[in-house]
Amino acid sequence: MSTIQGEPFIINIGPQHPSTHGVFRIKATVDGERVIDAEMVMGYLHRSMEKLAEERTYTQNIPFTDRTDYLSSMSNNLGYVLAVEKLAGIDVPDRGQAIRVIMAEFQRLASHCMAVGAFTNDTGAWQTPIMWCFREREKVLDLFEMTSGARLTCNYMRIGGVAFDLPKGFEEAARKTLAGFPQLIDELDAMLSGNEIFLARTKGVGVLTPEMATNASLTGPMLRGSGIAWDIRKADPYCGYEQYDFQIPIGYNGDSYDRFSVRLEEMRQSVKIIQQALDRLPGGPHSTQVPLALRPPKGEAYARVEGPRGELGYYLVSDEGPSPFRFHIRPPSFINLSALKEMTVGGTVADAIVVLGSIDIVVGEIDR
C-alpha cells in the first residue's frame, strides 16, 4: 500500500507594513503546516545611517538615533551620548543623570506596552490587552511631549546631560502615570497567565536553551527568558543605576511565554526605579556646557545601555575632527533575530508568527 508524500513548498511571510513589526520577510519552507527551513530577508528599510553619521557633527547625529529603534528613542539617544561623553571625557551633573534614568525607564515601560500588547495579538487574542497597553503607553508619551516637545522621536538627550530641565508639573504627572501601571500589569497577568488558549500558543513554543541564547550573543528579555540574569544596568552600571534597588526577572523554560512574563515583570521593576529616582531627584544643573563644534581627542570608545530589547551599544572613533571617523551601532534586534531559524524550524506556520512576536524586533535598527 503506497503512502502519499507531500512536496515542500515556500511561503513568504511578509514583507509586513511598518505599522506591524516592520518591513521584514521570512522565507519559510514548509511541509504541510510544519516549517522545515526559514530564511530571513531584510534590508527594506536600509538608509545608510551609520555612513551618513560620519559626515555630521556629534550633536547632529542625535536625531539619527531616534530613527533606529523608533519605539525607544530615549534609550537610543542615551546610548549614543554616553559613547560621545566617554570619548570626550565629559561628566554629567547628578540631576542630568537622574533625569536620564527616569526617561529611559519610562521608555522601557512604553516599549514593553507595545511588545506585550502586539504579542497578545500575534497569539490570536482579542483586542482588550493591546487597548489596555496602548492606553497606558499614551500617558507615557504625554510625559515625553511635555518634556521634549515630541512623542515618538524625542531627540531629548544631549552630550553632557539633557536638552531641557523637567517642566513644572512633571513630577506630579509622572507619579500619576506610574500609579496606573501596577493595575495594568496585574490585569494582564490575571487575564493571560491562566488562559488556556494563550498558554497553548506560547508554552513550549520557540524554546531557546541557555546555551543557544549565549552562543547567539542574545541579550535583554530574550536572554533573561532563558534563565540567564544578565542586565547591563547591573553588570556595567551607567547613569548611577548602581544606586537603585531593582531585581532582574528571569524565565526558566526559554519559551515565548517566558519572554512575555519577563517583560511584564520588567515593567514592575521600571516603576520601582522611577519612583526611587523621583524621590531622590537632586537639584542643580541638568546639563554640562559643551562646545558647539565638539572635537573629541583622537581615540575610540564603546558605550552600552540596557535598552528594552537588550544591549544597545555605540562604537565611535575620533580623528579629532567635528564628526566621528567611525560610527557603528550594536543593535539588539538584529542580533536577537539571528536565532529565529532555530526557534521556528520544527514548529508550525502559526507558531512562527508567535515566535517572531516574542522576539520584539524593530526593523529600523536592523536596517540602519
CATH code of the region 48-366: 1.10.645.10
| pLDDT score, position 292 | 83
Find the length of the chain: 368
Whole-Å CA distances, 231 to 88, 219, 234: 26, 8, 5
Residue type, 155: N
| pLDDT score, position 2 | 47
**pTM for the complete prediction?**
0.92
Q: Which residues of the chain have pLDDT under 70?
A: 1-6, 16-22
Give the phi and the psi of residue 147 in degrees, each rounded to 5.
Answer: -90, -45
C-alpha closest to that of 328 among 50, 66, 45, 85: 50
- What span, in angstroms and rounded, lies between the C-alpha atoms of 189 and 264? 8
220: phi > 0 → left, psi -120 to 50 → alpha, else beta; which?
Answer: left
Q: How far apart are the first and last CA of the chain?
A: 56
Q: What is the largest CA-CA distance in the chain?
A: 85
C-alpha closest to that of 99 among 77, 71, 69, 68: 77
